[in-house]
Structure 1
Amino acid sequence: MGTPESAVQAAHGGRGARARILRAAAELFYTRGIHATGVAALMKAAHVSPRTFYVHFPTKNALVEEYLRRFETDTPLAAETALERGDLSPAQRLLALFDPMEGDSSALYRGCPFHNAVVEGAGEFPEVAQLAQLHKQAFRDRLVTTATEAGAANPETLGRQLAVIFEGAHALAASCNDTQVFTDARQAAKVLLDAALPTAR
């Protein structure tokens, strides 16, 4: 355990300020929304002063961009990690993307943070929109690659179609706060996979 002095330092700025700001952003941007979360709320949650905040992030937009970039490096989106599972075959990984969501079913479901950031930005944040486009394209590319590994006759088409079902399911689940939509999405994905992949998988 740290000393009382180090605990006070952590609570009021000190070391790890950047990490605390990013943790606060991850929590507040996702649960409350980007526009609804002001810089004052971020500073309060991260226990940093205005000076410390702006040393690390000159603008709120800079923080939004870093918040999204971390999903590419440190904290991959849980909904997409099925594609990396080594215990499943390629076909099983594609279907596992649509497995029921784990966790508290009563918790607010906010959907994809990239999608949310673009919608909230409404064209005002081109850098954020570009980050989202790159992420979505990379995800589609991974679907196509996995479909190729699974033996699909037309992996490009299958990958794009699965992306539509996946993205649509997450958007609908967020709009209605109802993760039961993934049950229907999984059934639709299975129909596609059964039609597109060899019978012996």
Structure 2
Amino acid sequence: MGKESAAGTRRRGGRGARERILVAAAALFYEEGIHATGIARLVETAEVSTRTFYQHFPTKAALVEEYLRGYEAGLARRVEERLTQEGLAPQDQLLTLFVMVAEAGSERPGGASTRGCPLHNAAVEAADQMPEVRELVQRNKEGVVQQLTDIAARGGAADPERLGRQLAVLLEGATAMSTSLDNPCPRQDALDAARILIDQALPDMQSRQRS
């Protein structure tokens, strides 16, 4: 049964507290920013006490890391599901990643702002204050480049490493520009540009019929 704090904020018992903190962090960090979200805001939203918070996360940085790992794992699962569709050739796999980015931009609720990639946002906010977070994001982005490079190699690209880097720049730039302009159009622009780039690097793609 819930309890009221001295300030009147409802507090729930410890069962499921860790998950509630992570859910609150995912929403608040993404919508309001990591630095702008203090411990008081987190515990109020998660309906836990400050003591309970620190029992699960010794520091705010530890919570940020856990939040990012959870986002990273969920994104990896979604990407893997799309890339392993039956009959999806390497060329189409490369484009699928851009389709996913474009779809994410078109799924905003009415009036919602474009926030961009949580990992990129965290890297910008963390700077030198959260080195573990910065390293986590760096490993993720390096992994994206490697994944694109591997797919490009399977598709027969003459220089898969170069194509992988170029496509990674397009992906990252699309979300960053979309956030800066608060407009989903750059995501579609990146998809269109990726089609041209892949056509040039993988000539056999030109004969494919694409929607």
TM-score normalised over the length of structure 2: 0.84
- Summarize the alignment of residues 14-163 of structure 1 with structure 2, pairs less than 5 Å apart: 14-73=14-73, 75-76=74-75, 84-87=83-86, 88-99=88-99, 100-101=102-103, 102-104=106-108, 106-163=111-168
Residues 116-175 of structure 1, C-alpha deviations (whole Å, 9 max, x = no match) = 111112321111110010000011111111111222121111101000111011101011
Q: Specify whether residues 151 and 139 from structure 1 end up closer, same or farther in structure 2 by C-alpha distance, changes over 3 A only.
A: same
Residue 183 of structure 1 is matched in structure 2 by 188
CA–CA distance in 2 between the matches of 1:171 and 1:85? 27
- Give the residue type in structure 2 aligned to 1:147: A
Aligned residues between the structures: 194
Q: CA deviation at 1:76?
A: 1.5
TM-score (norm 1): 0.88
Pair 122,113 (structure 1): closer, same or farther in 2 beyond 3 Å: same
Deviations 1:6-63 (A, max 9, x none): xx49x60321111110010001000110011111111011111111000000111110
* Structure 2 Cα separation of the partners of residues 140 and 174 of structure 1: 21
C-alpha RMSD of the superposition: 2.3
3-state secondary structure, aligned to 2:170? helix
The answer for unaligned runs of 5 or more in structure 1 is: none
Kept after mapping to 2: 8 A contact 1:158/1:196: yes
- SS at structure 2 position matched to 1:34: coil
Shifted more, 84-93 versus 152-161: the winner is 84-93
How much does 1:78 deviate? 8.7
Alpha-carbon separation, structure 1, partners of 2:77 and 2:169: 18
TM superposition shift of 1:96: 2.1
Equivalent position amino acid for 1:156 in 2: E
Letter in 1 for 2:85: G
What is the distance in 2 between the residues matched to 1:159 and 1:50? 45
List structure 1 runs of 4+ shifted beyond 6 angstroms.
none
Contact 2:30 2:115 in 1 (8 A): yes
Q: What is the alpha-carbon distance in structure 1 between the residues aligned to residue 169 and residue 108 of structure 2? A: 26
- Of all paired residues, the percent bearing the same amino acid is 50
CA distance 1:83–1:166, change in 2 (3 Å): farther
- Structure 2: state its 5+ residue gaps: 4-10
Q: Who is 2:8 aligned against?
A: none
